[in-house]
Amino acid sequence: MTSVEPTTGNTAGGKVQAMARDSVKTVIAASMVGTAIEFYDFYAYGTAAANYFPKVFFGDTGNPTVALLASLLTFAIAFIARPLGSLVFGHFGDRMGRKTTLVVSLLTMGIATFLIGCLPTYDMWGIVAVVVLCLCRFVQGIGLGGEWSGAALVATENAPEGKRALYGSFPELGAPIGFFLSNGTYFVLESFNDEAAMMAWGWRVPFLLSAVLVIVGLVVRVHMEETPIFRMAQERNEVVKAPLVEVFKKSWLQVLQGTFLVAVTYTLFYTLATWSLAWGTKEAGQGGGGLGFTNQEYLLMLMIAICVFAAFIVISCVNADKIGRRRVITFSSVALIVFAALFPFLLNGEVVGQRNFFANMVFLCIGFALMGCAFGPIGAILPELFEANVRYSGSGISYNLAAIVGAAFVPTIATWLSSHWGVHSVGLYLGVMAVCALIAVLSCRETKDVDFTK
């Protein structure tokens, strides 16, 4: 059995009765492993959509740019499905508890991801292969819709007083871990296989390996405790029958605020991790920027920069516990506006030339540092915007609506913008999203000291 620690005092404002909670190690594992798998799955798909799927599933188009755009559109399907998943899993998470819901969401996500790795190609099944790919991607999005918010609640509802943002960093750290594992898998595969082998079978391996991560995650989550705050809500008979109705009736403003707080982090991330991969490795006629990097070189640069992302998640969360969530996110939003205006110069081949590793690493490291600053406190502030009895639904809906607003079409839009108006148009796109985030955070109250039991 999982070790537990008694809460002899309070976890939030002196109102949680003495009850057992999971140990810190279990909280870290239960909250981090699911988001690591979530981001692993999404990064694996994003890398495959940028590099392999244009030929594996869309090679009949005859136009490499059109094939890339079509492939990236399938990337968007899971993001469209995610709000539906957050409605379903949010309802049961606020009715039945965080633990059971997280187990089901992880299993749903894992099965869909594994099946993507088993799919026949277009040459085998024709258009049916594309349809089944889209279906698997949709189901994957449904499972993912309930994942992050539940993981964030497992972390923050087990947090000691004054450390909610730090505990909220556990699921956030799943992002760089999943990214590193995904890109590392592709890096190793490409080191030992040529392009023909990767197109034939190599692209499948990351999806099939996700089954190992899912099994580990299920073992941890099946043995974890329900969070003390949800158990207290049950004891107080405060569990509502229709949490979704309550959210949209009483907390619609918080849903909007949360959506735009998160949306810019999605836009930034998939600009850095998916669009820039295609821009840096493909020629202009293929939807890229002709910077001359090989796919393996760019994956290595991304893996180095992702360590900066992880470090700044922790740094920003420690600061968010000290000086407040609003100050940290306000700083990151303003800094992102400046970054959006300047980064296109680092990715302009006419300015920096081809294969300029220094300029590209500056772009990636600064971008991921700001990503960490913006993304880290989200694990705390988003749940804090909502009351305990609708917290799973409210935070999940906000987080997954942000996936549509900020992420679903980012690679497609950025590729289209850059191919028509150059890299500076991508900077303008990111800048607009950063302004929206700034408006959202300035309209929010500070949540650092809210009573988390209410």
The answer to whether residue 10 is domain-embedded is no
Domain that holds residue 349: 22-443
For the chain, how many structural domains are there in total?
A: 1
177 has a pLDDT exceeding 60? yes
Q: Which pLDDT tens digit goes with each residue over 70-89?
A: 887 887 788 788 888 888 88
Strand, coil or helix: what is 304?
Answer: helix
Q: Over the chain, what is the mean pLDDT?
A: 84
When mean pLDDT is compared across 150-154, 242-246, 438-442, the lowest value belongs to 242-246
The answer to whether residue 11 is domain-embedded is no
Position 110 scores a pLDDT of 87
When mean pLDDT is compared across 23-27, 260-264, 299-303, 436-440, the lowest value belongs to 23-27
CATH code for position 106:
1.20.1250.20
Burial class (CB in 10 A: 0-12, 13-18, 19+), 10: middle
Q: Which pLDDT tens digit goes with each residue over 377-398?
A: 998 999 899 887 788 788 888 9
Percent of the chain with pLDDT over 90: 33
The answer to whether residue 395 is domain-embedded is yes
Position 123 scores a pLDDT of 86
21 has a pLDDT exceeding 90? no
Position 236 scores a pLDDT of 65
Position 223 scores a pLDDT of 75
The answer to whether residue 224 is domain-embedded is yes
Which pTM value belongs to this model?
A: 0.81
The answer to whether residue 214 is domain-embedded is yes
The answer to whether residue 4 is domain-embedded is no
Tell me the DSSP string of 370-404.
HHHHHHTTHHHHHHHTS-GGGHHHHHHHHHHHHHI
Strand, coil or helix: what is 452?
Answer: coil
Q: Which pLDDT tens digit goes with each residue over 113-153?
A: 899 999 998 888 888 988 999 999 999 888 887 777 778 88
The answer to whether residue 2 is domain-embedded is no
Residue 363's pLDDT band, with cuts at 50, 70 and 90, is very high
